[in-house]
């Protein structure tokens, strides 16, 4: 049975983690990291997504992407495929360069965007890499003005303050805080009342030797909140729709093994 497609709607934000096949080192020096970023930049222009943060390590990378019309799966397929072709040609090899299934966590922009940027920028700190927070291959340099260009969408600095100077000051204070919280789970304030319904569905499907699918999750959440599926797919910033999406994300991760 094939994998279900990832949840897609314009404005969805994903924390993407890609790893070398068998955790091999595939982004191991400046040339390889620069090449990967150039491919990201190429498809950012072509496919119209936003990039809020990145960190390129030796055997894996983090990307914080907001999609628009083009689904994340199409974006990542293009990026991974072009890098794989370049890598295999360079080393006269064939086969996979990256793990076939990258990890992508659907995130709530209003609640967690800044925390995710901090989490990604702190990866070199935790790994004790040269430069720490000023690690050369993270998007932190774009936020503090050491790197120029349109690769990273740093307009989120406006969430700290209106003036660039004050926003940068607040950003640096925020970066210096210890990011103990790992942003992978998303809390939904009314999730407890939905769990029994979802678990009942899961038991029913187990009796029928069926897997619980995301369509059933979406249907139950929408019924519980008295809203239509089309309502949660449209672009909106209302807190209620945001909470409904968070419920779907949490329940699908827990009961459908969807990331």
Categorize the per-residue pLDDT at 24 as very low, low, confident or very high, splitting at 50, 70 and 90: confident
* Sign of CA pseudo-dihedral 251, 255, 23, 90: negative
**In this predicted model, what pLDDT tens digit does every residue of 82-136 receive, in sequence order?**
999 999 998 898 889 888 778 898 888 877 899 899 999 999 998 899 999 999 9
Categorize the per-residue pLDDT at 259 as very low, low, confident or very high, splitting at 50, 70 and 90: very low
**Which residues belong to CATH 3.30.70.1290 in the chain?**
13-175
How far is Cα 147 from Cα 117, in angstroms, rounded to an integer?
16
Per CATH, the number for 13-175 is: 3.30.70.1290
Which tokens go with 8? 């897609």
**In this predicted model, what pLDDT tens digit does every residue of 121-174 receive, in sequence order?**
999 998 899 999 999 999 999 999 999 999 999 999 999 998 999 999 999 999
Tell me the backbone φ, ψ of residue 13, rounded to 5 degrees: -115, 130
Q: In what order do the strands lie in the sheet with 60-66?
A: 50-56, 60-66, 13-19, 103-107
Cβ contacts of 40 within 8 Å, gap of 6 or more: 51, 54, 63, 79, 151
**What's this model's pTM, rounded to 2 decimal places?**
0.70
At 54 the three-state DSSP class reads: strand
Torsion of CA 113, 114, 120, 121, to 10 degrees: 160
CA angle, 108 then 239 then 246, to 5°: 40
| Per-residue confidence (pLDDT) for residue 204, from 0 to 100 | 66
């Amino acid at each position: 049975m094939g994998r279900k497609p990832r949840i897609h709607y314009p404005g969805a934000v994903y924390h993407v983690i890609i790893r070398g096949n068998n955790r091999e080192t595939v982004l191991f020096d400046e040339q390889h990291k620069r090449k990967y970023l150039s491919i990201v930049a190429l498809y950012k222009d072509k496919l119209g997504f936003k990039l809020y943060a990145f960190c390129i390590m030796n055997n894996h990378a983090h990307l914080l992407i907001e999609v628009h019309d083009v689904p994340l799966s199409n974006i990542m397929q293009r990026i991974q495929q072009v890098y794989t072709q370049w890598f295999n040609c360079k080393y006269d090899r064939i086969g996979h360069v990256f793990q076939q299934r990258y990890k992508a966590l659907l995130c709530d922009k209003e609640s967690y965007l800044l925390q995710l940027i901090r989490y990604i920028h702190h990866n070199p700190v935790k790994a004790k890499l040269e430069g720490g927070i000023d690690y050369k291959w993270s998007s932190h340099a774009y936020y503090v003005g050491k790197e120029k260009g349109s690769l990273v969408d740093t307009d989120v600095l406006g969430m700290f303050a209106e003036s660039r100077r004050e926003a940068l000051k607040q950003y640096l204070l925020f970066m210096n805080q210890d990011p103990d919280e790992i942003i992978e789970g998303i809390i939904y304030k009314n999730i407890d009342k939905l769990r029994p319904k979802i678990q009942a569905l899961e038991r029913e499907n187990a009796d029928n030797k069926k897997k619980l699918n995301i369509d059933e999750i979406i249907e139950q959440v929408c019924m519980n909140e008295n809203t239509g599926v089309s309502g949660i797919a449209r672009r909106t910033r209302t807190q209620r729709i945001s909470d409904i999406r968070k419920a779907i994300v949490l329940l699908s991760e827990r009961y459908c093994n969807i990331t």
